[in-house]
Homo-oligomer: A and B are copies of this chain.
């Protein structure tokens, strides 16, 4: 079995307290003693048992990140950012997938498995405002996303309404009038789909363009396949549009594919804008104009806020932290002046 403090102490001929002092580099240790101990540590290949240390200290040095599915690019990139940021703080990340299922999310919040961590970054997808009370948990938590607001915890999220409105206005400024939406959720008010749709409506209103239900394509989950299906529906029912707002990049890419299959040119006939600024948005054909909702900032802020909350558990934490967004202009929806330059 692995060596323990006792083994090291015995070999070095000192007490375990002295070994402990050396390990935690407590300053007042005689240099000769320190060397003896370090030699013994090296000889035995001793490494501290973190479980014991954690039991003692009540901390684990790990945080949990719960998200729907790493197969969804947005969440994969978010997780990459969270892990990288946690690493800077010397903290390790345990990743849980909920599948975006409400019951699994609720179960997770009460799971004893979270006891392995000091706190949770929670990105729900199935839960809604009615579950706000479930966020009252006995451990530090930071909530992401836009399923639940005004919970008893810190909340880091993006500016969905504002960003979507900006995306819509961007399309309108480039001469688009009939903007289809791919990925709306029927009757949803809160949640990414609901909020981004609201921003879309605001953008139309500001420009005096009437809202047309016939341009809205609904989906369940935001997979590529659903973006493709939604676009096929739109085409099948004869919708006429000169732009598409994919409520995320994945949907937009799926929709774009169907457009091209149907012989509709992007951006010649139809402009397409997405949301997320995934890595792949740079490399699609054409490259995808999109809204960067500040994912890196969200990851960084979530980790820092959680660690702060862990360090100061008594303070009240229920701030709402909003990331900046910006439109990343690429080929699928060029701005007017560029279009006139690049057109043949």
Contact = CB atoms under 8 A, between A and B. Distances in A.
Interface string A249-284: 000011011001100000000000000000110111
A61 B51 CA distance: 12
A73 interface: yes
Interface string A54-96: 1100001110000001110100110110011001000011111
Contact of A94 (B62, B115, B225, B260): B62
Contact of A115 (B49, B71, B115): B49
Contact of A280 (B52, B112, B280): B280
Given A62-B116, A92-B96, A257-B284, A51 B48 contact: no
Contacts of A224: 279-280, 282-283
A224 B76 CA distance: 16
Q: How many copies does the complex hold?
A: 2
B94 A87 contact: no
A97 interface: yes
Interface centre among A48, A60, A95, A254, by most B CB within 10 Å?
A: A95
Interface centre among A48, A70, A83, A223, by most B CB within 10 Å?
A: A70
A29 B69 CA distance: 41
Interface of A: 2, 45, 47-52, 54-55, 60-62, 69-71, 73, 76-77, 79-80, 83-84, 87, 92-97, 110, 112-113, 115-116, 138, 223-225, 228, 253-254, 256-257, 260-261, 279-280, 282-285
Given A50-B113, A51-B51, A70-B77, 15 more contacts: A47-B115, A48-B115, A55-B55, A70-B70, A71-B76, A73-B73, A73-B76, A83-B96, A84-B97, A92-B94, A92-B116, A94-B95, A224-B279, A225-B283, A284-B284
Nearest to A54: B51
Contacts of A52: 55
24 contacts: A47-B110, A47-B115, A48-B115, A50-B113, A50-B115, A51-B116, A54-B116, A55-B55, A60-B116, A61-B113, A70-B70, A70-B77, A73-B76, A76-B79, A76-B80, A92-B116, A93-B94, A94-B94, A224-B283, A225-B282, A253-B280, A257-B285, A280-B280, A285-B285
B80 A87 contact: no
Given A51-B54, A61-B113, A283-B224, A97 B71 contact: no
B51 A115 contact: yes
